[in-house]
Structure 1
Amino acid sequence: MTTLQRAVLTVAILASLVAFLDGSVVNVALPAIERELGGGLVLQQWVVDAYLITLGALILLAGSLSDAFGRKRILMIGLFGFGIASIACAVAPDGVSLVVFRAIQGIAGALLVPSSLAIIIQVFSEDDQPKAIGRWTAWTSAAMLVGPLLGGLFVDTLSWRLVFAINPIPIAVTIVILWRIQLDHEHAHGHIDYLGAVLGAVGLGGVVFALIEQGQVGWGDPLVWGVGAIGCLCLVAFVVVEMRTKQPMLPFALFRIRNFGVGNVATLAIYAALSLGTLIVGIYLQEVAGYKATLAGLALVPATVVSLLLSGRFGALSGKWGPRLFMAVGPLVAAGGYALLLTMGTDVNYWLEVLPGMLVFGLGLSITVAPLTAAILGAVPPEHAGIGSAINNAVARIAGLVAVACAGLIVAGPLDQGGMRRVLAVCVVLLVLGGVVSAIGITNKRRRPQAATQAAIPTAQGPLPPTR
């Protein structure tokens, strides 16, 4: 890698790491937060939900802003915003203030991930993108899996406030590196589809809100189904507006690109299984097997280690041989890991019943995620890398929310061995489905030159508008 590429990859990893880590590390701090600030279960729910709702609602807009005004600028705004919001969360005097600051964190977090991936696409050549995305994938996956363990250590040994107060340190390092980076060909055009932005934000926000809250109060609650219905109507209006406007925030022609469309379908199945499976395994180890929270977090670490060691390698191999084989085989290997976890009983032997499954699962993720991300982003024109990344992230997050929301229906009562096996069986089916979809739909064709690609994907009004 050149000096510029190394700096860009470091920035992309650190920026995304902060967003992903904060989303997972807070969960184990919730009891301590409630003990100090009060508010009961309602406060705990909203500390998590406020972040997820604003993040989910604004991620498409963030991708569009990245393409419109330049990735470096939007990334810098997101970093400053996330750092300030983190400090505010760390010193929050009461529960209401903490929820408000968490919502602001979600807004800033939405600016980080799409810009991070888009800046990789901008700087790395097509041949080098899979390996770079593999390294990005390894570290961000590690953040999601290690987060609960790190949060547990902070809460048990120091204070829950350190969960937020630690964020400005990596953010400051990232800002210094990013400030020194000089980027050419930002493809910034300064145009924002404001009506589409509002409809998309309200639509996604409403749907995410309904999916989260129905798990607590059910679909019969007027607020849940009312906000959910408004969200769905706004998404329908969003589609209509985007298909008719001359310069849409979301060019639906992107979905006509085979690897982009098929890759997002595979993402839907794979990330639903990932979110649902890791959630249930963690809860089962604590509530049924009797593991402490820290030990349950440690149980997931082997998958993280495998991902760290192998994701970059599989990303590089997919760049050489194409993503299809890896996207087909990887989910099947991950499904095998979940199948091994079906041997868990009520008295869990970690070395025989958990560790083998987690190692195989981690191997499957390593084979899958980097080629999946590279195939999706490598299929779109560079000037649309921001919105392409945002779409894929939105699909992954919605998949996780829907899957977790359905966990109660699958378990059908208090979590026991039978409920755990039903959930893992569903996860196995979803992963197999993701592998089959990839095997049938993904191609290894190299992307055509940018000008040719742009001319080949017409919108309702003709070719995609040139950047200015």
Structure 2
Amino acid sequence: MTADDRVLLSRAQKWTLVVSCLSVALVVASMAALYTALPNIAVATGATQTQLTWVVDGYTLVLACLVLPAGALGDRYGRRAVLIVGLALFSLASVVPLLVSTPWWLIAARAAAGVGAAFMMPSTLSILTAGFPEQQRGRAVGIWAGVAGSGGLLGILGSGLLLDYWSWQSIFVGLTAVGVFLLLCAFTIPESRQENPPLMDVMGSVAVVFAVGLVVLAIIEAPVRGWSDPVVVAGFGLGVVATVVFVVWELRADHPLLDVRFFARRGFGSGSFSITIQFLVTFGVFLVLVQYLQLIFGYSPLGSALALAPMMVPLVLLSAVAPWMTTRLGLRLMTVTGLLAIAAGFYFISRLDLDSTYVDVMWPTLIMSTGLGLTAAPATAAIVADTAVEKHGVAAAVNDATREIGAAIGIAVAGSVLAAGYSHNIAPAIARLPPEARGPVADSLAGALEVADRAGPAGQQLADFAKSAFLHGVEQSAIVLALIAAAGAAILLVWAPGRASPDAGASRSPAEPAQRSRIPRPPLASTVEKERP
């Protein structure tokens, strides 16, 4: 360990790290917290299946759309200020379901919370990268990435615990309380912003909202409507058009929202790709395993959350040291090894059957979380390191946008493959059922188990057949996710940069990116980062 590695953080910097990590954990936990409460919400509010889908996805869609413009606003007007605004909006939106609980009000409240989350998420990372010494920046980013990666499990665990004692509205009481607490804490951390910033890229901001929004909307609707549905096809088509408009505008703009040439840099581009793949497979496995634990093992929502909780241990521990390992081993080795470990974990999950035990589930998830711990923090650090300090808000927003897009794709792909596998294998049993039982059995394993339970002892054969059909879907979705992770590793083997030379950092200024693209880019605005207590 060098002298630079032993630079100690001040008490104020440690407190800033705590506030930033808790804030990003709140954003991610809120995304997953309602998964376990959807049945309770349906009974209490009379929400349809489509409305329940949008209770969850309305938050994700708005967050994904607005995170890039929000990151630019943080660079321009102050990262702490934008974090404070985001926490205030998030907390106010979380109060609404406590006052009015009709389905459409609930969807609107979640969308409003997504606006707040979009302001919060990039600020939590850019506050750290702009305010920490270069020698400790990697460690701070590693801790941030570990907490962000564990946020989904924390949300499922917290909501499961609350639902064991109180109603579904208790989740929003918890979100509001944590949001208000962090809002007060945010006033105690330092402010940072870009001095003399250029004009805001309004056209680029509008274009990226449409580009991301339309693509994510199509991804969300595809499992429900079908991938060939006109609405889904139109969403993808218009999203591609908006993306082309965004890219062309950004290439021509004097002060772009996001200089798309950054993606030609190996660190920035491969880091963004790696994070997309990581969150695609991670949220895909959450969708599959939560249902597996509840429907096959019969676990409660809290029990299923506790069963997945050990995943957090290797993820958090490795994320803290992965940046240090990356400086010695290189981004390529870390990301490729991590994704291959994730692929191996999915392969073992695909081997689960009706006789499997919890141990058979636990050790593949530990392999996957080890892989995620190896690759999450280095990929995030690569994005930030390849961007000048005054653009760290936008870099953080790119990191966050790739997470949201990857999560949306993962849920859509895993859900579609799981549903298709179940439907195909349950079909022979449906023809022998009474007409009134066919719909619930065809829809889901939960519906089939309910029909089997009402049938008494005679329903055991149906329950076993439906569970077997569901396991076929689990096997197929796990194999698809394993192939995606393995393909991502193969691409990164060629794309990601290797270990930097020992004198690489000495030959460039602190604000200069570590990796250079051969494609020329416009000069950065002559701005200096301004720190204020």
Instruction: Tell me, yes or no, whether TM beats 0.5.
Output: yes
The within-5 A match list for 1:414-429 is 414=422, 416-429=470-483
1:13–1:139 contact (8 Å) kept in structure 2: yes
Normalising by structure 1, what TM-score?
0.92
The within-5 A match list for 1:26-425 is 26-183=34-191, 186-187=194-195, 189=197, 191-319=199-327, 322-351=330-359, 353-411=360-418, 412-414=420-422, 416-425=470-479
Distance verdict in 2 for CA 1:233–1:130, change over 3 Å: same
Normalising by structure 2, what TM-score?
0.81
TM-aligned CA deviation for residue 247 of structure 1: 0.9
- Aligned partner of 1:466 in structure 2 is 526
Q: The residue matched to 1:157 in structure 2 has which SS?
A: coil
CA deviations over 1:165-217 (Å, ceiling 9, x no partner) = 11233333323332122345644626311111111112211111111112112
Cα distance in 1 for partners of 2:483, 2:105 equals: 42
Q: The residue matched to 1:291 in structure 2 has which SS?
A: coil
Cα distance in 1 for partners of 2:277, 2:67 equals: 20
AA of the residue aligned to 2:88 = F
Cα distance in 1 for partners of 2:299, 2:379 equals: 34
AA of the residue aligned to 1:388 = A
Q: The residue matched to 2:356 in structure 1 has which SS?
A: coil
Percent identity (aligned): 29
- Aligned partner of 2:440 in structure 1 is none
Distance verdict in 2 for CA 1:459–1:313, change over 3 Å: closer
Distance verdict in 2 for CA 1:305–1:254, change over 3 Å: same
TM-aligned CA deviation for residue 246 of structure 1: 0.9
Uncovered stretches (5+) of structure 1, i.e. residues with no partner: none
Larger radius of gyration: 2
Distance verdict in 2 for CA 1:240–1:257, change over 3 Å: same
1:267–1:434 contact (8 Å) kept in structure 2: no
Segment of structure 1 superposing worse, 456-465 or 154-163:
456-465
AA of the residue aligned to 1:426 = V
Cα distance in 1 for partners of 2:351, 2:381 equals: 34
Count matched residues. 467
Cα distance in 2 for partners of 1:221, 1:340 equals: 34
Cα distance in 2 for partners of 1:355, 1:95 equals: 36
1:257–1:380 contact (8 Å) kept in structure 2: no
Structure 1 segments (4+ residues) deviating >6 Å? 454-461
AA of the residue aligned to 1:199 = A
Segment of structure 1 superposing worse, 139-148 or 54-63:
139-148
CA deviations over 1:47-76 (Å, ceiling 9, x no partner) = 112111111111111122122222111111
Cα distance in 1 for partners of 2:350, 2:516 equals: 47
TM-aligned CA deviation for residue 431 of structure 1: 2.4
Q: Does 2:491 align with 1:431?
A: no
Q: The residue matched to 1:106 in structure 2 has which SS?
A: helix
TM-aligned CA deviation for residue 419 of structure 1: 2.5
Q: Does 2:450 align with 1:442?
A: no
Segment of structure 1 superposing worse, 12-21 or 176-185:
176-185
Q: The residue matched to 1:300 in structure 2 has which SS?
A: helix
TM-aligned CA deviation for residue 321 of structure 1: 5.1
- Aligned partner of 2:438 in structure 1 is none
Q: The residue matched to 2:140 in structure 1 has which SS?
A: helix
